[in-house]
Amino acid sequence: MKRAGLGDWISDRLLSIAENLNRETPTNIDETEDPFLDERLTPDGLPTEPVEFTATDPHSGDTKSGTINLFLPPGEKKGTRRAISEIGQWLNYVTGGRFLTMAADLSGSINVEKSHFFGHYDPVHNPGGTRLKAPIQEAVNASTIIGLVNQSASADPSVHSGLWGLSGTYGAFTPLMYTPARVFSQQNQDSPFRLGVLTILAGHSGPETAADARTHFGIFAPQVWTLFPRGQVINLYFWDYNDVAPGYFAAVSKAARTPEVGIITIHVARPDILVADRNRFADTDLKAAAKGIYLIRDFDPDLPAMGTVWVQGASSTVNLVSILDKLATEGINVRVAAVISPELFADQSEQYQQHIYPHAARYDRWLSVP
């Protein structure tokens, strides 16, 4: 560098190379669009009937056909975790394979395995795969997905043309994913570029997992997912199969259109339960979970009001729903509200919020949580 003019020559040469690089690198995606803005990935755009699909691998030309069931009829015995594969398939069907998962040996158990049409990703033999192989290493798996979702092929910094992804494990072990997710959240807050969204699946969460020993008892541990600045994360606590799709895609719709939201966390329990008959509920809307909180039971206007029961979690809600008739028989005039997501509820109209959570309800309430 001490030779006369060498430094200038090197810098000029590097700039010349950069200026002459071919920037039109071919891809098999549209770099100008964000596929997660598709209206089919909103609660209103969700099909309530089974969807027969055929997916095509863009690399091999192979096809796969099947059925996606985002909703099920009342009385069918399937728990919330069974719906995870359906929302994963719907994401990959709509976006053309842009939703990846990484969950080690729990991929089947927490029900993300069937989110994929063409199996494991391999850069040479199966580039169309969307499932990433991994050992049991929660922090590393979450970090890997984070590294993928923060990349974009778009030349426009306001458009994310890339991937979204999910990493999951037992709810009790998700704190191992918290630190990389927290750093990603900070990156998302400061980045001038539009990043993708990380989904954390706290599977087998709640007291229902105690059969696996107290090490797997996911009650307190998953609360780390509330430890983010307000507006940076959306937590979803599902109890009924038919809550999963509308609740999750309400979060997807919000995150895809709100740069501050970088993380969606899904909390589901293991047991299979009967799909609820919503005709018995005060709010009969099949997609009520998209509102964040909805009424299972309202006050009887002919009796003195006795407060509101705010219920969250699988077994706690199922058990409460099972005694609704008994409450009526004994004249216990309480409202019952299912709390799916405080973050989604905060996005509802002031009128709806006041209807569900009037000022008086703050001083006359019962809580029922796992």
Mean pLDDT of 83-101: 97
Chain-centroid distance, C-alpha 355 = 27
| Confidence tier at 36 by pLDDT (50, 70, 90) | very high
Q: Measured on CA atoms in the order 217, 164, 236, 87, is the torsion positive or negative?
A: negative
CA distances for 87 relative to 41, 154, 360, angstroms: 10, 26, 37
Average predicted confidence (pLDDT) for the chain: 93
Dist. CA 223–CA 219, nearest whole Å? 8
Q: Report residue 338's pLDDT band, with 50, 70 and 90 as the boundaries.
A: very high
Quote the distance between the C-alpha of residue 70 and its chain's center.
14
pLDDT tens-digit series, residues 159-208: 999 999 999 999 999 999 999 999 999 999 999 999 999 999 999 888 77
In angstroms, the CA 236 to CA 199 distance is: 11
Residue 213 has pLDDT above 80, yes or no: no
- Which residue's structure tokens are 């158990």? 109
Half-sphere exposure of 171 (CA within 13 A, CB side): 32
Choice between 309 and 361, residue whose per-residue pLDDT is larger? 309
pTM of the model: 0.92
Q: Report d(CA 177, CA 150) in Å as an integer.
A: 16
Domains of the chain, earliest start first:
35-267 (3.40.50.970), 278-368 (3.40.50.920)
195 vs 212 pLDDT, higher one: 195
Which residues are CB-neighbours of 154 under 8 A, at least 6 positions away? Answer: 31, 32, 34, 160, 161, 162, 194
Q: Which residues fall within 8 angstroms of residue 23, CB to CB, at 6 or more apart?
A: none
C-alpha triplet 110, 77, 49: angle, nearest 5°:
90
Q: Which pLDDT score, from 0 to 100, does residue 364 have?
A: 76
Q: Name the phi and psi angles at 263, rounded to 5.
A: -135, 135
Q: What is the pLDDT of residue 200?
A: 98
Across 83-117, b (16+ Cβ under 10 Å) vs e yields bbbbbbbbbbbbbebbbbbbbbebbebbbbbbbbb
- What pLDDT is attached to residue 154? 93
Q: Which residues lie below 8 Å from residue 13, measured CB to CB, with a gap of 6+?
A: none
Contacts of 248 (CB under 8 A, 6+ apart): 87, 236, 264, 266
Measured in degrees and rounded to the nearest 5, phi and psi for residue 6 equal -65, -40
Tokens 């430094």 map to which residue?
Answer: 7
- Strand ordering across the sheet containing 198-203: 99-102, 164-170, 198-203, 263-267, 233-237
For 204-227, b where at least 16 C-beta lie within 10 A, e where not — what string?
bbbebbeeeeeebbbbebbebbee
* C-beta separation of 92 from 157 below 8 A: no
Judged by average pLDDT, the poorest of 3-7, 33-37, 224-228, 327-331 is 3-7
